[in-house]
Amino acid sequence: MSNSIVHILNNDCPHCLKGKVFNEKSIFFNFRFPKMNEYCSHCNYKFEKEPGYFFGAMYVNYGLTVAQGIATYVIAQFFFKETFDLRIIPIIAVVIIAMASINIRLSRLLWIYMFKNYSM
């Protein structure tokens, strides 16, 4: 499990663990829309199995975004006197927008790793 997390964060191919899923070297600190490789450059593994394969990754992205919003609220509430201050909402929005590019990449990588063949 911990090895899979490291490989997901390193943008490694789920099949050979040597190629890259995205064209970028790092999935972090890149604020453009992600460009995925169609095949692994090392083992020729096809990342998108069928048309619409990554629609399920939207649900993973939604879960990540909700978790980040809740975590931001929990952290931000300690800086305000009232239990729910309306000034927390823009803070949550800024965090969600800033993390959107990372969430897209991370959700697709999680989706690929969820459905890889573990019997090898």
Contact 67, 74 (CB under 8 A): no
Selected residue with higher pLDDT from 31 and 3: 3
Those residues whose C-beta lies under 8 Å from the C-beta of residue 28, and which sit 6 or more positions away, are 102
Domain boundary assignment for the chain: 4-115
Among residues of the chain, what percentage have pLDDT more than 70?
A: 88
Helices (H) and strands (E) in the chain, counts: 3, 0
- Whether the pTM exceeds 0.95: the reply is no
Mean pLDDT for the stretch of residues 53-77? 93
- What is the per-residue pLDDT across 8-64, written as a single tens digit (0 to 9) for each? 888 888 888 888 888 876 666 666 777 888 888 888 888 888 888 889 899 999 999
Amino acid type, 70 = I
